[in-house]
Structure 1
Amino acid sequence: MEEKRALGLIERPRYIAQIEPFIETDVVKVLSGLRRSGKSGMLKLIQRWLREHGVRENQFISVNFEDYNFRSLTRPDALHEYLAAKIAEVNGRAYVFLDEIQEVSNFERVVNSLRATTGADIYLTGSNSALLSGELATHLAGRYVQFTIYPFGFEEFVHARQTILASATFRDYLDVGGMPYLATKELDSHSNAIYLRDIYGSVVLKDIVARHAIRDIHLFEKISTFALANTGNVISSGSMTKFLKSENVRVSTQTVLNYLEYCTQAYLLNETRRFDVVGKEQLKTLSKFYAADHALRGAIVGDGDAQIQGVLENIVALEAMRRGYDVQVGVLPAGEVDFVLKKDRLTRYIQVTYLMADARNEEREFGALERISDNYPKTVVSMDPLLRPRAGIEHREISEFLLAEDW
């Protein structure tokens, strides 16, 4: 316990379990995700795992490219020379950890050369999915695996709070969100919001505006804020351009689509596409977008609990993504299912609602699931303390559901 407090390490066993089969292989491990979502912490957890399995500390070579001391290594030739020399000094296998690798131009050539010639076990982190997957696919096809590191889910939040602050509730999680720094601190709501808005600003300026040379930052922020405000709602480029027109802002449909794509590449938004439950095919039009963190969304949009329905959907969607599910929105001939989850051969249907307030609400949530004729698991999730399952469909309280292993 004291070691965890000192190092600030919070267990993330689901990620370790995903990464472990590739440790000590020549496959490059890439950890990507939103800035400050815990990628650097995951590198420390991997290092601890390695130490527990006999690797010595002097076999580790770590470079954080946001550290000014390493500014000269953002040139590929300088980085290759530095790492090759460091690896040559290691007695045994070297383990290389490169944090925020997107700061290095042509980094993929350096990584591929070291992988091919030194036998080092290499780990990268980065904050832009398109940059990482695009560049690595060109030079490391079949030689890398990528893991998305999300902010803490409720399970991780509870563990973090109990480790550092002794207690945690779902209400705490609703208010604070899952960014690791905030999960391990007890700040007032104003300070939380300042921190979250700073993350948003860093993502916008470093990972989106600078990378894509966006000149109209105000327009970009209008589009990203609109998407955040409409968490859980179907968004089309047409509806967004119509909204902007009502605000006396004229923008092309393609620009809207591009800006939304940039947000997903930087992990600010997560897109869920629609799935025809009857026809069993993915639909190409319209999507829903969920924020990287529900509290970050709240800090930017500023609507408090007014959109609790969408916030709860956001929490469940991201938890499913953490658990490795492909998350889609189910479309029925009459109505919609919030989530169709797919992993390996498993399919699961989930409806999320705030409270089962009346018979009409109950009919809407259960009725949609009852219209699905297959026998895959079906669950309604809400904040109700009194649960009312129906016709073989589960009704689960949300905090219990988020902590459960059986999904």
Structure 2
Amino acid sequence: MNIERNIYLDRLVHRMHNGMIKVVTGIRRCGKSYLLFKLFYRYLLEQGVSEENIIVMELDRWKNREYRNPEVLLDYIDSHMPDDKQYYILLDEVQMMENFEEVLNSLLHYPNADIYVTGSNSKFLSSDILTEFRGRGDEVHVFPLSFSEFMQVYSGDVYHGWADYVMYGGLPLCATMQTEEQKVQYLSKLFEETYLKDILERHNIAKTQELEDLVNILASAVGSLTNPAKLEATFRSNIQSSISSNTIRQYIQYLEDAFIIQKAQRYNVKGRKYIGSPIKYYFEDVGLRNARLGFRQVEETHLMENIIFNELRVRGYSVDVGIVDKREKIDGHLTRKQLEIDFVATLGNRRYYIQSAFRLPDAEKIRQEKASLINVKDSFKKIIIVKDVINVSRDEDGITMMSIYDFLLKGNSLEL
């Protein structure tokens, strides 16, 4: 079953021949190899590139184990580049090769080679990309399926598709499974036996239960403001654990590096500055988040917020939590309070202020959701996204309202 992932294919195409190593990253099972070895490979052939000029090596395959030796691999590449024509080198699971950082830096000296690699697990995490290639690595981060990608393979209508997506997320293999039992087992085992195991092995963590407890706490409070000090207090009161805030901070960084969670920092819109703490955490895939909690805390309100956050990141935006100061007189006294905007999405000179409102049952709820947006006085677009099926509209305050379906399924939804 084919899934077109054009947003990532376009990002690879736009990076062709830029003199850098194109590094395809992402959480395990998100579709990195499929993107590179099926979609991008097909694109190269369609552009007239000969198969002889595409050097492919899947290092995770047993039959290719000899090429995990750097000298053997480099000899193989040399033998397949007999002239000065343009060649494309595609390496999968490159972390399985010894000294892979040095090998990739060596490949940069091939003037007629355009290099693309994927990597995963404990030896190839986000922070590695920033340090190992000396400014010559160009990262393309692949997310699990967005809702629009998910609907390419979903056989039902969009409303049943949403319910499935909110529950089981967008990992490609899970999206193609037919039964709930399959999906539950797959996601639960993947989290426990792959993602957490990678972190434990990479960082030699002895107290495994503390990391697992932290994941559970973050999953239970997805999208809530927190910090290591608050989490430490939760550990002490709820679990009777003496884990320190420094250890918690370290574990959170491990989870971020492994693409399991992502933070959204608070940003003072009027003051144009970041506020250090507390911050919010969202999961890269809501299905994995639900699996971690045994599918017992599937609060659609919070998961919709998580899905909006992920969608904005898929589209390339940096995403913060907005804070707006509002001054008002109460009983003759001037007071100041802070209003929150769910998301401030920024890309270059574009910015959008976005509220996630599951339901707007009455005028009072609408007033509450609009309050923070109205207090932003700049000209950037302000949007409220609701679960209900509504027509896209703009009210007298210049605030656009749209349904979650329009937002997720229309690539130009922010411009509607």
Match of 2:191 among 190, 194, 200: 200
C-alpha distance in structure 2 between counterparts of 1:310 and 1:91, whole Å: 55
Structure 2 SS opposite 1:289: strand
Which residues of 2 match residues 10-89 of structure 1 at below 5 A?
10-43=3-36, 44-85=38-79, 87-88=80-81
C-alpha distance in structure 2 between counterparts of 1:261 and 1:101, whole Å: 23
C-alpha distance in structure 1 between counterparts of 2:58 and 2:247, whole Å: 34
1:78 deviates by: 3.7
Q: TM-score, normalised by structure 1?
A: 0.90
Q: Deviations over 1:280-330 (max 9, x none)?
A: 112222221111111111111135564222100110001100101010011
Q: Is the 8 A contact 1:27 1:145 kept in 2?
A: yes
Is residue 2:94 matched to residue 1:101? yes
1:166 deviates by: 6.9
Aligned letter for 1:396? M
Structure 1 SS opposite 2:223: coil
C-alpha distance in structure 2 between counterparts of 1:305 and 1:219, whole Å: 21
Q: TM-score, normalised by structure 2?
A: 0.88
Question: How many pairs are equivalent?
Answer: 390
1:76 deviates by: 3.1
**Percent of pairs with identical residues:** 29
Aligned letter for 2:106? S
Q: Is the 8 A contact 2:406 2:413 kept in 1?
A: no
Q: Deviations over 1:331-360 (max 9, x none)?
A: 122221000000010110000021113333
Match of 2:221 among 217, 230, 237: 230
Aligned letter for 2:228? S
Match of 2:289 among 292, 297, 301: 297
Aligned letter for 1:242? A
Could you tell me which residue of structure 2 aligns to residue 378 of structure 1? 382
Aligned letter for 1:153? S
Could you tell me which residue of structure 1 aligns to residue 280 of structure 2? 288
Structure 1 SS opposite 2:153: helix
Could you tell me which residue of structure 2 aligns to residue 9 of structure 1? 2
Q: Is the 8 A contact 1:73 1:79 kept in 2?
A: yes
Q: Deviations over 1:11-68 (max 9, x none)?
A: 1111122221222443211111100111011102111110000012232222233323
Sort the Cα spacing of 1:41 and 1:375 in 2 relative to 1 into closer, same or farther, 3 A.
Answer: same
Could you tell me which residue of structure 2 aligns to residue 133 of structure 1? 130
Structure number with larger C-alpha Rg: 2
Structure 1 SS opposite 2:23: strand
Q: Which moved more, 1:225-234 or 1:252-261?
A: 225-234
C-alpha distance in structure 2 between counterparts of 1:111 and 1:217, whole Å: 34
Aligned letter for 1:22? R
Match of 2:369 among 331, 344, 365: 365
Could you tell me which residue of structure 1 aligns to residue 103 of structure 2? 110
Q: Is the 8 A contact 1:268 1:292 kept in 2?
A: yes
C-alpha distance in structure 1 between counterparts of 2:205 and 2:310, whole Å: 28
Could you tell me which residue of structure 2 aligns to residue 4 of structure 1? none
Could you tell me which residue of structure 1 aligns to residue 139 of structure 2? 146
Is residue 2:311 matched to residue 1:328? no
Structure 2 SS opposite 1:190: helix
Aligned letter for 1:13? N
C-alpha distance in structure 1 between counterparts of 2:83 and 2:307, whole Å: 44
1:180 deviates by: 1.0
Which residues of 2 match residues 163-182 of structure 1 at below 5 A?
165=155, 168=158, 169-182=161-174
Q: Show structure 2 runs of 5+ residues with no match.
A: 326-337
Structure 2 SS opposite 1:285: strand
Aligned letter for 1:199? L
Sort the Cα spacing of 1:110 and 1:186 in 2 relative to 1 into closer, same or farther, 3 A.
Answer: closer
C-alpha distance in structure 1 between counterparts of 2:83 and 2:236, whole Å: 61
Aligned letter for 1:110? V
Q: Is the 8 A contact 1:227 1:235 kept in 2?
A: no
Is residue 2:235 matched to residue 1:244? yes
Aligned letter for 1:175? M
Aligned letter for 1:341? A
Higher percent of residues as helix = 1
Could you tell me which residue of structure 1 aligns to residue 341 of structure 2? 337
Q: Which moved more, 1:245-254 or 1:378-387?
A: 378-387
Q: Is the 8 A contact 2:85 2:112 kept in 1?
A: no
Could you tell me which residue of structure 2 aligns to residue 274 of structure 1? 266
C-alpha distance in structure 1 between counterparts of 2:342 and 2:60, whole Å: 39
C-alpha distance in structure 2 between counterparts of 1:245 and 1:90, whole Å: 65
C-alpha distance in structure 1 between counterparts of 2:156 and 2:369, whole Å: 36
C-alpha distance in structure 2 between counterparts of 1:166 and 1:239, whole Å: 42
Is residue 2:311 matched to residue 1:314? no
